[in-house]
């Protein structure tokens, strides 16, 4: 079950790396999550992905999922994006535009 939340974790990491808190204000992703002043300004997409990740993690301790499994294993969907953002191999303006497009799609 250890790999079943990998995609959600990567999605949260990519979203946080694209957020204004990290890209523009230059805070760490941990600071953006833990500081109440910073976390209130996170995009709704990031908040929704964090909630999905925590629900997945909570499934590790849910005895009703013990035999069925928590979730499908990781597909590696976000691995390349995460690698690019972690290594600094990205254009900040382009990543911010991607986040705005994705976040505006959730509000409709």
Task: Summarize the confidence of residues 58-74 as an average pLDDT.
Answer: 64
Task: Summarize the confidence of residues 62-79 as an average pLDDT.
Answer: 63
Residues 54-65 have pLDDT tens digits of 888 887 776 766
Separation between Cα atoms, residue 59 and residue 42, nearest integer Å: 25
The answer to whether 24 and 102 are in contact (CB under 8 A) is no
**pTM above 0.95?**
no
pLDDT at position 108: 47
Residues 18-38 have pLDDT tens digits of 899 998 899 999 999 999 999
């Amino acid at each position: 079950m250890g790999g079943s939340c990998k995609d959600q974790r990567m999605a949260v990491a990519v979203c946080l790396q694209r957020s204004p808190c990290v890209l523009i204000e230059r805070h760490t992703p941990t600071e953006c999550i833990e500081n109440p002043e910073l976390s209130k300004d996170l995009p709704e997409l990031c908040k929704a992905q964090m909630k999905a990740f925590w629900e997945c993690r909570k499934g590790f301790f849910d005895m009703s999922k013990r035999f069925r499994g928590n979730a499908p294993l990781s597909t590696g969907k976000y691995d390349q994006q995460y690698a690019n953002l972690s290594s600094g191999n990205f254009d900040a303006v382009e990543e911010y535009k991607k986040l705005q497009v994705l976040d505006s799609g959730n509000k409709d």
